């Protein structure tokens, strides 16, 4: 642990001693239900981070202070009512008992929201200028409303304090109300709330003064800002340094949280939570610039996933606290593992942004590779305990994410585990995905599993294609099939898959088929695979048209990720076409002709190309399952209610001859990496 000494130096924020320099910064969790209350799920999620050693958690990204800043459509915390106070007390008690500290981010989002739900409010902004990302119209906020919102901030801070939280962070980032007043991009006022620097700062200053008057000087109050809005008509780094110095000099703030980039457009939104296409800590220089002009601690979090990164940043003095937020979503016990010299056992974030992209779709935040995260309240464990029951022989067929997770958990439970994988390496579709541009870090999921399987002494048999005879010879007590599937390019006979007229995205990414020079990619799924294969082909010099029958290419990819694909595809001059269905493919000399039909008009078009690549999902590989099913004790069936409730499968307690047979992941039906891992965890945790 001595190599990480800088991480474990305590530091004061106001009257608080933070036990280490690692922070889980504010993010929207989408767990606050019942009118925006911090539920048991919410509490257990943050308690796990405190239990795992995190020094400070700032919860509730964009938690609202006013009833006319909508929160229900993405289930944020509602601080506009005293109902929240006892819920905060539960949250504070849960974190404090493990030695952690807990604050909450509070805000009025102004124009940055949706008006068409819950109370159907008129959204407000300094000058009534529409917000692009949410396509939100708004009114110009009036003097009386300004005063009322300032008071709402103060009352929200009071509720946090009365609930036992350790502080509040004022959100002046991501183009919320405070920084909407700051930015000349959206503040065109000519009264005392706009125009000059002092006038544009006035709203934020009045909020800060009102909060201080309500909670006193000993309660921690910070402010989150961006380092540069990255708009030619917005606030640049020098402007933000001036703003930070201005608020610092009031003496009313105890810390700054700094991120790079504004996010009121789709393109800048991708900067705020950098995915795996970005380099490590891409905006650290902006946070370091703010630290130069303030004399209170500075927190920075963006694409910092590794303890070695954090140590280097702290040793160099760039900032005072390192935010490792997605790192804690991937592994809430990372601090404890550092202390126990188990760094190799940290499940490191790979930057897939599955977590935050779900939030921008109004779904609960989940981790692509850790299914226990946020499901602690359901009894899903991060630390697997050994069973008190009999030791079983478990045979797992398939070394993709679901199979690797099933093998890991069964071994942690103390069972004898044999993992059969027909390929020469682990990973399944993760290995394919990692070959595409911008996606190499996804292979970190497989690297972690490979280390865990080795640590646990699993009998790993690569290059071994399982059949029913081999499974029978191994005499398993439990057989888990995670055999995946095959590309479904035969759905329409007119596509010509049987005649070799089309190939799959797997064929291209695996290297089995060389890229053509002029390629049509037909993508019905509109998630990562189609965009990735188009990006890959273009990077190899192909002229590419990406066609979909959906409303736009990549429509299924979340808000922090699709912009990075679009940047790359536009730069490589990939043509992106929507609303066209692939009717048929026929040969013409050494070329292929793709016939496309407009979904709405029925008009047909043709493309003459060298290669047609189809991404149409996969069909389950079911043959082995149906061969083994008749001789299995449970006939391959899973108790669905027990599965959904994360309870032990009843068959585990039953006597009987024959093996228990389960299947999971894509060999049941196509879902995604998280679903396969989730099924493996909830099936195997009670083995």
Annotated domain spans of the chain: 2-378, 393-485+620-684, 489-616
**Helix, strand, coil percent content, the chain, rounded in steps of 5:** 35, 20, 45
Give the CATH H-level superfamily of domain 489-616: FAD/NAD(P)-binding domain (3.50.50.60)
* Cα–Cα distance measured from residue 194 to residue 414, given in angstroms and rounded to the nearest whole number: 66
pLDDT exceeds cutoff 80 at 117: no
pLDDT above 80 (res 2): no
Whole-number pLDDT of residue 83: 98
Residues 568-595: b if buried by 16+ CB within 10 A, e if exposed: bbeebebebbbbbbbeebeeeeeebbbb
List, in sequence order, every beta strand (DSSP E) within 173-254.
Answer: 220-226
C-alpha to C-alpha distance for 215 and 103, rounded to whole angstroms = 14
* 575, two tokens: 């043509």
> Is pLDDT of 130 > 70?
yes
How far apart (Å, rounded) are the C-alpha atoms in residues 63 and 67?
A: 11
Coil, strand or helix: which one is 298? strand
* In this structure, CATH architecture of domain 2-378: Alpha-Beta Barrel (3.20)
Nearest to 616 by CA among 585, 572, 590, 662: 585
> Among 259-268, 646-655, 676-685, whose mean pLDDT is lowest?
259-268
- Nearest CA to 168 out of 107, 227, 108 is that of 107
Report the C-alpha gap between 450 and 609 in whole angstroms. 41
DSSP state of 560: T
Give which of 229, 221, 226 is closest to 244, Cα–Cα: 226
Paired tokens of 262: 């504004």
Q: What is the 3-state secondary structure (H, E, C) of 456-479?
A: CCCEEEECCCCCHHHHHHHCCCEE
Residue 1 has pLDDT above 80, yes or no: no
Specify whether the CB–CB gap between 524 and 615 falls below 8 A: yes
pLDDT of res. 392:
96
Fold type of domain 393-485+620-684: Rossmann fold (3.40.50)
**Quick one: which H or E segment has residue 145?**
helix 143-162
Q: What is the pTM of this model?
A: 0.96
- Interval 197-246: pLDDT, tens: 999 999 999 999 999 999 999 999 999 999 999 988 899 999 999 999 99
**How confident is the model over 389-402, as pLDDT tens digits?**
999 999 999 999 99
> Model confidence over 463-501: pLDDT tens digits?
999 999 999 999 999 999 999 999 999 999 999 999 999
Collect all residues with Cβ–Cβ distance below 8 Å to 10 and sequence separation of at least 6: 17, 18, 19, 20
Indicate the burial class of 151 (C-beta count within 10 angstroms; 0-12, 13-18, 19 or more): middle
Q: What is the mean pLDDT of residues 522-529?
A: 96
Q: Give the chain's radius of gyration (CA, Å).
A: 27
């Amino acid at each position: 642990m001595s190599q990480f000494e800088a991480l474990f130096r305590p530091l004061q924020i106001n009257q608080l001693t933070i036990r280490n320099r690692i922070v889980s910064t504010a993010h929207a969790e989408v767990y606050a239900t019942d009118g925006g209350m911090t539920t048991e799920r919410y509490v257990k999620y943050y308690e796990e981070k405190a239990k795992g050693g995190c020094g400070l958690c700032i919860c509730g990204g964009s938690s609202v202070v006013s009833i006319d800043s909508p929160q229900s459509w993405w289930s944020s915390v509602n601080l506009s009512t005293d109902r929240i106070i006892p819920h905060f007390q539960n949250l504070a008690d849960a974190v404090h008992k493990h030695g952690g500290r807990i604050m909450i981010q509070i805000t009025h989002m102004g124009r940055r929201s949706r008006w068409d739900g819950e109370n159907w409010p008129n959204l407000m902004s300094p000058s009534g200028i529409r917000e692009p990302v949410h396509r939100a119209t708004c009114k110009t906020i009036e003097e009386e409303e300004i005063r009322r919102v300032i008071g709402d901030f103060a009352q929200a801070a009071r509720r946090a304090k009365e609930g036992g939280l350790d502080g509040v962070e004022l959100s002046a980032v991501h183009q919320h109300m405070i920084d909407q007043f700051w930015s000349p991009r959206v503040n065109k006022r000519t009264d005392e709330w706009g125009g000059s620097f002092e006038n544009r700062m006035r709203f934020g200053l009045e909020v800060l003064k009102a909060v201080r008057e309500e909670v006193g000087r000993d309660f921690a109050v910070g402010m989150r800002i961006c380092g540069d809005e990255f708009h030619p008509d917005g606030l640049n780094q020098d402007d933000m340094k001036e703003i930070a110095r201005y608020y610092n000099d009031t003496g009313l703030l105890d810390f700054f949280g700094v991120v790079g980039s504004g996010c009121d457009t789709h393109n800048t939104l991708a900067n705020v939570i950098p995915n795996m296409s970005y380099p490590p800590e891409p905006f650290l220089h902006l946070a370091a610039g703010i630290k130069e002009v303030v004399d209170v601690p500075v927190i920075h979090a963006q694409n910092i996933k590794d303890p070695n990164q954090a140590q280097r940043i702290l040793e160099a003095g760039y900032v005072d606290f390192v935010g490792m937020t997605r790192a804690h979503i991937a592994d809430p016990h990372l601090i404890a593992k550092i202390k126990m010299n188990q760094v190799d056992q940290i499940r490191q974030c790979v930057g897939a942004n599955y977590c935050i992209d779900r939030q921008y779709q109004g779904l609960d935040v989940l981790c692509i590779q850790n299914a226990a995260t946020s499901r602690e309240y359901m009894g899903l464990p991060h630390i697997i305990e050994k069973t008190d029951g009999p030791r079983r022989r478990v045979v797992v067929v398939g070394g993709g994410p679901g199979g690797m997770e099933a093998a890991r958990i069964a071994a942690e439970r103390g069972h004898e585990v044999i993992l059969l994988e027909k390929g020469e390496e682990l990973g399944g579709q993760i290995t394919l995905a990692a070959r595409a541009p911008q996606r190499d870090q996804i292979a970190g999921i497989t690297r972690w599993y490979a280390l865990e399987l080795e640590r646990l002494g699993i009998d790993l048999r690569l290059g071994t294609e399982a059949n029913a005879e081999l499974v029978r010879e191994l005499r398993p007590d439990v057989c888990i099939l995670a055999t995946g599937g095959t590309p479904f390019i035969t759905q329409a006979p007119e596509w010509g898959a049987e005649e070799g007229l089309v190939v799959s995205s797997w064929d291209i990414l695996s290297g089995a088929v060389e890229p053509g020079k002029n390629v049509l990619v037909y993508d019905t799924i509109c998630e990562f695979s189609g965009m990735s294969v188009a990006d890959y082909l273009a990077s190899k010099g192909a002229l590419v048209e990406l066609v979909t029958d959906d409303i736009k290419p990549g429509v299924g990819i979340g808000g922090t990720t699709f912009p990075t694909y679009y940047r790359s595809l536009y730069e490589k001059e990939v043509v992106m076409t929507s609303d066209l269905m692939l009717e048929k493919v026929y040969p013409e000399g050494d070329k292929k002709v793709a016939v496309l039909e407009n979904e709405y008009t029925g008009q047909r078009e043709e493309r003459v190309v060298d290669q047609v690549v189809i991404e149409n999902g996969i069909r389950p590989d079911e043959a082995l399952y149906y061969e083994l099913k008749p001789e299995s004790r449970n006939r391959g069936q899973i108790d669905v209610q027990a599965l959904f409730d994360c309870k032990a499968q009843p068959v585990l307690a039953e006597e009987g001859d024959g093996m228990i047979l389960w299947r999971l992941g894509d060999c049941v039906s196509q879902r995604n990496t998280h679903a396969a891992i989730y099924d493996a965890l909830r099936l195997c945790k009670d083995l």
